[in-house]
Amino acid sequence: MIIVTGGAGFIGSNLVQGLNARGITDILVVDDLTDGRKCLNLSDAHISDYLDKDDFLARIQAGEDFGPVEAVFHQGACSATTEWDGRFVMNVNYQYSKALLHWCLERKLPFYYASSASVYGEGPVFREAREHEHPLNAYAFSKFQFDVYLRRLQSQISSPVVGLRYFNVYGPREQHKGGMASVAFHLNNQLRDGDSVRLFEGCDGYGPGEQRRDFIHVDDVVAVNLWLLDHPQVSGIYNCGTGLAQSFNDVANAVLKFHGRGRLDYIPFPDQLKGRYQSFTEADMGALRAAGYSASFLTVEQGVERYLAWLAKRA
């Protein structure tokens, strides 16, 4: 059995699809379906069981086993960067992760978890080292603090434990995320409902739409996770991006090109985001490459076309 927490969410459900593509269906999905729309992400998946996240936590805290487990992919979290209830975020993201980590360590199970590029704050260096980590919100702090906790234990750990610092992930099965969904998703909806797409005006010295992020298609994220499953000798904290920053204008132009129509407009930069916005991110992929990962990554132009084609089939 493979356990996927957050398995009805964006990255988790795509990971389930990736496991299914390998013929793996003995999968326990753990999630919170208070928002029942998330279950649609699993409507075409093959899994063996489902557990609510609180029930699962109670059972692992009680020391319960679930039979033979091959690995745990911990993708579940409160992912809203706008959530400022720090007690809630730390409980759901940090304490939950600690409990699951120790459950896996006691059983020597491979543990692969979702960290975040948000730990780097405004950068400018995005390399896996403490001196470059400056979280700007509660979500980022919760991810950062778990990475710190793992680092303190790492010399004592003999089983595979890997944290992946996801950069700006986009792609299928993110529709339930609302405002937290990718810019490609929102721009596609804007053009579907009108004749233009809208980006923020310039900030932090960048021109309109020229803020740059490391946008990574979720298929590439799944590929990295599955590669780790195949290479249990790899442990540590690694960036998971493309290594190439591209502008929001690149995303918008890829959406316009796919539809063959529309214009690009710019709107004022929101006051509430000033000082809390990553205007530039670019993953230093040296550590993951040194660990042996050699596959290429989709560019924004390639990835957005693939994503919008997927959306068009399910319109």
Report d(CA 167, CA 99) in Å as an integer. 25
Hey, which residues does 27 pair with through a beta bridge?
A: 2
Instruction: Tell the residue number behind the tokens 């290479």, with chain if given.
Output: 231
Which CA distances in Å does 142 have to 82, 134, 184?
13, 12, 26
Overall average pLDDT of the 208-224 stretch: 97
Residues 200, 206, 207, 210, CA torsion sign: negative
pLDDT class of 202 with cuts at 50, 70, 90: confident
Going through the chain in order, the beta strands assigned E by DSSP cover: 2-5, 27-31, 49-52, 71-74, 111-116, 161-166, 168-170, 196-200, 212-213, 215-217, 236-240, 246-247, 263-267
Mean pLDDT of the chain: 95
pTM: 0.95
CB 217 within 8 A of CB 275: no
Given this model, what pLDDT does residue 226 score?
Answer: 98
pLDDT class of 91 with cuts at 50, 70, 90: confident
Catalytic machinery residues: 139, 177
Between residues 277 and 259, the one the model is more confident about: 259
Q: Is the pLDDT of residue 94 over 80?
A: yes
Q: Is the pLDDT of residue 275 over 70?
A: no
CB 259 within 8 A of CB 307: no
**Domains, the chain, ranges and CATH?**
2-170+215-243+282-297 (3.40.50.720), 175-212+245-280+303-313 (3.90.25.10)
